[in-house]
């Protein structure tokens, strides 16, 4: 090896050793007679030292010519430092330099390559290869590596086999648009990139693989909401001959294993909640359970007292914000503004302050006396010092709005601590959801999900009430994974396509291969996929998934470093039989 040690390795025990280091010049401090250089590689920083009168004059000259990010090979002797730096592991030593070889020069980088950089997002993305030299970004990718290693270790230990599935395929519907690739050899025809390996993993179950997984790229052409990537990674899994509970316990085991091995955390047993309860008590199918603040339905105490907003509402529902009775008028106005924002959509907010002296102060004093307000408080388990926040209206919208308010208040109260983790299984999702735009039922998960057998009769009468054997894992209010028990017979799969508005012909054309396969001894099976990028970012305590992806795209779906997507030549277009209108 060119180097004897890395820049993160030397300690007092190496004193007087002759060493060779390689790395990048992070900083140069020239005090005239004394010169220090911080040399960096991915393992750390080592201080190099030169001294006028002692170090060779030509060597000093070379040292003084170094700029930031020059790549060098340095030889020298390890010595104890006079003033130690206890912030870095190599802070007790420095290397007295005897030779410097410049391996490559560098232009001055467009931003400082330090933990706190002066580079904005755009600049960092354009020069991502420099950004990746920074500790926080590199550490995020190291965490990702560890997560992948531990995922493989856990699943391998349970006899799962990693199988690669193709990338040039045809549409696998996961609710997004497909990215397509023109086929030169088949003019006018296109491959689709997989939105997930869903159909292939099911086929592997038909093939008897029994336990499959893959850490795999998926592609979805969606309008990019903040922090979504058009290509992303899943831990994709499938098992045969299992019940839903077998799957949940196997993959709860995976998450627990990751927490233990990567973060040293013993994750509590993951509770189960039905979708119906999640909506009723948290107004969300991905409740953040790091804190309580459960909904209380208040129709009984709220209605019939002449307050029309309550009387006309299908649902009156509240939350108790512990210790918030002292919220000022301004703070409550801010909450009211929050719920009235168009994306939240509530018409107004009712509050009841439970004062410390046992009295109540509310925005609806005109309609409710102290005794009645006390009933609200009792219903909400509110005590003196608490603040009750109430919304009223249509059931689903009101629940969703209160769910948002619950998160907003919890953030204000510091209840959403990134270093605290609460996982949850949400199960029994509806099989179908109504799409107003197309006036059609869509599969809520995907069309291969099996309905609960006891709900099948409802398919004809009230499709929206049919529950599926589908489940999500939620971590800190974020969906990190989802899956289902699958349909594994042709007839049911065919019926499902019919309910989704496919003609028999369309279904056959698109998914005939899968239905055919179901006629050759398909075992009962089910599975799950975890969003790997998101999982890594949650483990890393970050809001964004960007830094857990080596080369991410921006919010417009562009890679600004390689400048992609980009136009292709007319010759190429012609070869692909694609005509472009001018
Ligand atoms: N293919 C599904 C998804 O990408 C996961 C699954 O059902 O296993 O969400």
User: Helix, strand, coil proportions of the chain in percent (round to 5)?
Assistant: 30, 25, 45
Cα 125 from Cα 123, distance rounded (Å)? 5
Mutate to test the pocket of ligand 1, among 529, 533, 535 (most ligand atoms within 8 A of CB): 529
SS3 83: coil
Tell me how far apart the alpha carbons of residues 295 and 318 are, in angstroms, rounded to a whole number: 6
Q: From 286, 483, 484, 488, give the residue whose CB has the most ligand 1 atoms within 8 Å, as the site to mutate.
A: 483
Ligand 1 pocket mutation pick from 199, 235, 236, 471 by most atoms within 8 angstroms of CB: 236
How many angstroms separate the CA atoms of 410 and 398, rounded?
18
- Which of 231, 248, 449, 482, when mutated, tests ligand 1's pocket best, judged by the most ligand atoms within 8 Å of its CB? 482
Ligand 1 center to 429 CA (angstroms)? 14
Q: What pairs with residue 40 in β-bridges?
A: 24, 45
Query: What is the Cα–Cα distance from 410 to 213, expressed in whole angstroms?
Result: 37
- Rounded CA gap, 319 and 363, in Å? 15
Q: In the structure, which protein residues have their CB atom closer than 6 angstroms to any atom of ligand 1?
A: 174, 196, 198, 482-484, 527-529
> DSSP letter string over 355-397?
-TTS-EEETTTTT--HHHHHHHHHHTT--TT-EEEEEEESHHH
Measure 525 CA to ligand 1 centroid, in angstroms. Answer: 13
Q: Three-state secondary structure along 277-343?
A: HHHHHHCCCCCCCCCCCCCEECHHHHCCCCCHHHHCCCEEEEEEECCCCCCCHHHHHHHHHHHHCCC
Which atom of ligand 1 is nearest to 448's Cα?
7
Atom of ligand 1 nearest to the CA of 470: 7
Of 443, 323, 330, 338, which Cα lies nearest the Cα of 391?
338
Token pair for 241: 């001959």
Task: State how far the Cα of 384 lies from the Cα of 212, in Å rounded to an integer.
Answer: 55
CB 535 within 8 A of CB 251: no
**Phi then psi dihedrals of residue 416, to 5 deg:** -110, 60
Pick from 165, 196, 231, 254 the residue to mutate for probing ligand 1's pocket: most ligand atoms within 8 Å of its CB.
196
DSSP code for 454: G
Cα 541 to averaged position of ligand 1 atoms, centre (Å)? 25
| Residue with CA at minimum distance from ligand 1 atom 8 | 528
- Report how far ligand 1's centroid is from the alpha carbon of 293 (Å): 31
Residue 503: count of CB within 10 angstroms of its CB: 10
Q: Where are the alpha helices (DSSP H) in 35-190?
A: 57-64, 121-126, 128-131, 135-157
pLDDT tens for the 582 residues of the chain, in order: 999 999 999 999 999 999 999 999 999 999 999 999 999 999 999 999 999 999 999 999 999 999 999 999 999 999 999 999 999 999 999 999 999 999 999 999 999 999 999 989 999 999 999 999 999 999 999 999 999 999 999 999 999 999 999 999 997 778 889 999 999 999 999 999 999 999 999 999 999 999 999 999 999 998 877 778 999 999 999 999 999 999 999 999 999 999 999 999 999 999 999 999 999 999 999 999 999 999 999 999 999 999 999 999 999 999 999 999 999 999 999 999 999 999 999 999 999 999 999 999 999 999 999 999 999 999 999 999 999 999 999 999 999 999 999 999 999 999 999 999 999 999 999 999 999 988 999 999 999 999 999 999 999 899 999 999 999 999 999 999 999 999 999 999 999 999 999 999 999 999 999 999 999 999 999 999 999 999 999 999 998 999 999 999 998 899 999 999 999 999 999 999 998 776
Tell me the whole-structure pTM to 2 decimals: 0.95
Kindly give the distance from the C-alpha atom of residue 236 to the centroid of ligand 1, in angstroms, as a whole number.
Answer: 7
Q: Whose CA is nearest to atom 7 of ligand 1?
A: 483
| Span from the CA of 424 to the centroid of ligand 1 (angstroms) | 18
Between the alpha carbon of residue 140 and those of residues 71, 119, 550, the distances in Å are 24, 18, 9
Q: What Rg value do the Cα atoms of the chain yield, rounded? A: 30
- How many angstroms is it from 19 CA to the middle of ligand 1? 52
Measure the CA–CA gap between 344 and 401, rounded to whole angstroms. 5
Q: Specify whether the CB–CB gap between 138 and 412 falls below 8 A.
A: no
Start-to-end Cα distance in the chain: 57
DSSP 563: T
Task: Pick the atom of ligand 1 nearest to 218's CA.
Answer: 4
Whose Cα sits closest to atom 1 in ligand 1? 198
User: Partners of 215 in the beta sheet?
Assistant: 235
Tokens 């970050």, located at residue: 542
Cis preceding linkage at 117, omega within 30: no
Atom of ligand 1 nearest to the CA of 201: 8
The Cα angle at residue 558 between residues 556 and 562, in degrees rounded to 5: 165
Neighbours of 446 (CB within 10 A): 20
User: Which residue ranges form the domains of the chain, and what is each CATH number?
Assistant: 12-104 (2.40.50.140), 138-273+422-549 (3.30.930.10), 291-412 (3.30.1360.30)
Q: Are 390 and 352 in contact (CB under 8 A)?
A: yes
Burial of residue 210 (CB within 10 Å: 0-12, 13-18, 19+) is middle
- Please give the C-alpha separations between residue 164 and each of 197, 234, 340, in angstroms, as whole numbers: 9, 13, 48
CA–centroid distance, 314 to ligand 1, in Å, is 35
């Amino acid at each position: 090896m060119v180097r004897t040690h890395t820049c993160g390795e030397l300690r007092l025990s190496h004193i007087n050793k002759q060493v060779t280091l390689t790395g990048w010049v992070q900083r140069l401090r020239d005090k005239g007679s004394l010169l220090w250089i911080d040399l960096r590689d991915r393992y750390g920083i080592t201080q190099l030292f030169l001294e006028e009168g002692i170090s060779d004059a030509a060597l000093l000259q070379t040292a003084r010519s170094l700029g930031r990010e020059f790549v060098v090979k340095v030889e020298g002797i390890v010595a104890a430092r006079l003033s130690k730096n206890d912030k870095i592991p190599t802070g007790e030593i420095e290397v007295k330099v005897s030779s410097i070889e410049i391996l490559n020069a560098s232009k001055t980088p467009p931003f400082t390559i330090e933990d706190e950089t002066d580079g904005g997002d755009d600049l960092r993305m354009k020069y991502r290869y420099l950004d990746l030299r920074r500790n926080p970004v590199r550490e995020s990718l190291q965490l990702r590596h560890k997560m992948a290693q531990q995922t493989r270790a856990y699943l391998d230990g349970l006899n799962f086999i990693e199988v690669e599935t193709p990338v040039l395929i045809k549409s696998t519907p996961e609710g997004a648009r497909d990215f397509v690739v023109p086929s030169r050899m088949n003019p006018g025809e296109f491959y689709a990139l997989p939105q997930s390996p869903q159909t292939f993993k099911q086929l592997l179950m038909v093939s008897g693989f029994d336990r499959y997984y893959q850490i795999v790229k998926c592609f979805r052409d969606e309008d990019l909401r903040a922090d979504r990537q058009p290509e992303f990674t899943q831990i994709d899994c499938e098992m045969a001959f299992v019940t839903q509970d077998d799957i949940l316990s196997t993959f709860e085991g995976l998450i627990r294993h990751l927490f233990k091995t990567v973060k040293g955390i013993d994750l509590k047993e993951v509770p189960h909640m039905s979708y119906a309860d999640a909506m009723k008590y948290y107004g969300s199918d991905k409740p953040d359970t790091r804190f309580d603040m459960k909904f209380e339905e208040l129709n009984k105490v709220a209605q019939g007292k002449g307050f029309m907003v309550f009387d006309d509402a299908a649902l009156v529902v509240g939350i108790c914000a512990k210790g918030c009775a002292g919220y000022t008028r301004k703070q409550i106005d801010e909450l009211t503004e929050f719920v009235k924002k168009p994306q939240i959509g509530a018409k107004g907010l009712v509050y009841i302050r439970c004062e410390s002296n046992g009295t109540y102060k509310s925005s609806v004093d005109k309609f409710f006396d102290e005794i009645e307000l006390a009933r609200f408080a009792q219903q909400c388990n509110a005590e003196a010092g608490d603040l009750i926040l109430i919304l009223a209206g249509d059931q689903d919208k009101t629940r969703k709005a209160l769910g948002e308010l619950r998160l907003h208040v919890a953030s204000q109260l510091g209840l959403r601590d990134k270093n605290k983790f609460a996982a949850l299984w949400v199960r029994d999702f509806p099989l179908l959801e109504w799409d107003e735009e197309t006036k059609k039922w869509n599969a809520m998960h995907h069309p291969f999900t099996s309905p609960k057998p006891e709900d099948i009769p409802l398919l004809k009468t009230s499709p929206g009430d049919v529950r599926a054997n589908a489940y999500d894992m939620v971590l800190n209010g974020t969906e990190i994974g989802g899956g289902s028990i699958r349909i594994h017979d042709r007839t049911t799969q065919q019926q499902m396509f019919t309910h989704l508005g496919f003609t028999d012909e369309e279904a056959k054309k698109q998914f005939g291969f899968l239905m055919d396969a179901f006629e050759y001894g398909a075992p009962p099976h089910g599975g799950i996929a975890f969003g790997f990028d998101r999982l890594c970012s949650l483990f890393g305590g970050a809001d964004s998934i960007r830094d857990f992806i080596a080369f991410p795209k921006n919010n417009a779906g562009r890679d600004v470093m390689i400048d992609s997507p980009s136009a292709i030549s007319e010759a190429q277009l012609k070869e692909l039989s694609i005509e472009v209108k001018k």
